[in-house]
Amino acid sequence: MNRKELAGMLEYAADLMEVLGEGEFRAQAYRRAARNIEKLEADLEVLAAQGFKGVPGVGPALAPMLTEIVQSGEFAYMAELEAQVPPGVLEFFRVQGLGPKRIRALWEHGIDSLEELIRHGEAGRLQGIPGFGAKTEANLVQAARFALEGLRRVLWGEAIEAAELLLADFAGAGIRAEVAGSFRRGLETIGNLDFVALAGPEAVQNALGRYIERIEGSVLHGHLGGLPLKVFCATPQDYGTVLLRATGSRAFVESLGELPVGQSEAEVFEQLGRRLPSPYWREPEHLGLEEPEQALRREDLLGLIHCHSTYSDGTASLRTMAEAAIAEGYSYMVITDHSQSAPYAGGLEPQRVKAQWAEIERLNVELAPFRILKGIESDILPDGSLDYPDEMLAGFDVVIGSLHSGLNLPKEEQTQRLLRALDNPHLKILGHPTGRLLLRRKGAEADWERVLERAAERGVAVEINCNHHRCDLDWRLALQWRDRLRFSLGTDAHSLEGLPTIAYGLILAAKAGLSKKQVVNAWKAETLSRAGS
Instruction: Note whether 335 and 459 are same-domain residues.
Output: yes
Mean pLDDT of 372-387: 97
Contact predicate 515/296, CB 8 Å? yes
Instruction: Note whether 360 and 503 are same-domain residues.
Output: yes
Mean pLDDT of 354-358: 98
Instruction: Note whether 94 and 23 are same-domain residues.
Output: yes
Domain end (from 286, 306, 334): 286
pLDDT in tens, 258-313: 999 999 999 999 999 999 999 999 999 999 999 999 889 999 999 999 999 999 98
Task: Check which CATH number belongs to the domain holding 50 and give it.
Answer: 1.10.150.110
Residue 340's pLDDT is what?
A: 94
| Range name among 139-153, 222-236, 323-337, 351-365 with the lowest pLDDT average | 139-153
Q: What is the DSSP string of 329-390?
A: T-SEEEEEEEBTT-GGGTPBPHHHHHHHHHHHHHHHHHHTTSEEEEEEEEEB-TTS-BSS-H
Look at residue 292 and tell me if it is in a domain.
Answer: no
Kind plus residue range of the DSSP H or E element containing 71: helix 62-72
Task: Check which CATH number belongs to the domain holding 337 and give it.
Answer: 3.20.20.140
Task: Check which CATH number belongs to the domain holding 217 and give it.
Answer: 3.30.460.10
Alpha carbons 519 and 332: distance in angstroms, whole number: 15
Range of the domain at 258: 154-286
Question: In the predicted model, is pLDDT for residue 171 greater than 80?
Answer: yes
Question: In the predicted model, is pLDDT for residue 442 greater than 70?
Answer: yes
Instruction: Note whether 203 and 310 are same-domain residues.
Output: no
Instruction: Note whether 457 and 514 are same-domain residues.
Output: yes
Look at residue 70 and tell me if it is in a domain.
Answer: yes
pLDDT in tens, 12-47: 999 999 999 876 788 999 999 998 888 887 788 888
pLDDT in tens, 248-271: 999 999 999 999 999 999 999 999
Instruction: Note whether 281 and 333 are same-domain residues.
Output: no
| Inter-axis angle of helices 100-108 and 3-20, nearest 10 | 30
| Range name among 18-27, 188-197, 291-300, 367-376 with the lowest pLDDT average | 18-27
Report H helices in 109-238: 114-122, 134-149, 156-172, 181-184, 201-208
Mean pLDDT of 166-177: 97
Residue 153's pLDDT is what?
A: 85
Question: In the predicted model, is pLDDT for residue 199 greater than 70?
Answer: yes
Q: Which of 410, 391, 457, 408 is nearest to 430 (CA)?
A: 457
Contact predicate 187/156, CB 8 Å? yes
Q: What percentage of residues in the chain have a pLDDT greater than 70? A: 99
Look at residue 140 and tell me if it is in a domain.
Answer: yes
Look at residue 26 and tell me if it is in a domain.
Answer: yes
Residue 23's pLDDT is what?
A: 66
Quote the distance between the C-alpha of residue 107 and its chain's center. Answer: 30
Taking CA atoms, 400 is separated from 17, 335, 469, in Å, by 38, 10, 19
Beta strands (DSSP E) in 411-503 are 429-431, 461-465, 487-493
Residue 522: how many other CB atoms lie within 10 Å:
20
Domain end (from 109, 134, 149): 149
Instruction: Note whether 240 and 308 are same-domain residues.
Output: no
| Number of structural domains found in the chain | 3
Handedness of CA 17, 19, 21, 27 (dihedral sign): positive
Look at residue 293 and tell me if it is in a domain.
Answer: no
Taking CA atoms, 278 is separated from 55, 191, 282, 286, 507, in Å, by 49, 21, 7, 11, 10
Instruction: Note whether 357 and 252 are same-domain residues.
Output: no
Alpha carbons 258 and 272: distance in angstroms, whole number: 9
Domain end (from 227, 257, 286): 286
Alpha carbons 230 and 69: distance in angstroms, whole number: 33
Instruction: Note whether 144 and 165 are same-domain residues.
Output: no
Residue 475's pLDDT is what?
A: 98
Look up residue 4 and give its amino acid.
K
Banded pLDDT at 533 (limits 50, 70, 90): low
pLDDT in tens, 70-86: 888 888 888 888 888 98
Instruction: Note whether 63 and 101 are same-domain residues.
Output: yes
Question: In the predicted model, is pLDDT for residue 419 greater than 90?
Answer: yes
Instruction: Note whether 476 and 419 are same-domain residues.
Output: yes
Q: What is the pTM of this model?
A: 0.82
Instruction: Note whether 125 and 158 are same-domain residues.
Output: no
Look at residue 291 and tell me if it is in a domain.
Answer: no
* Mean confidence (pLDDT) of the chain: 94
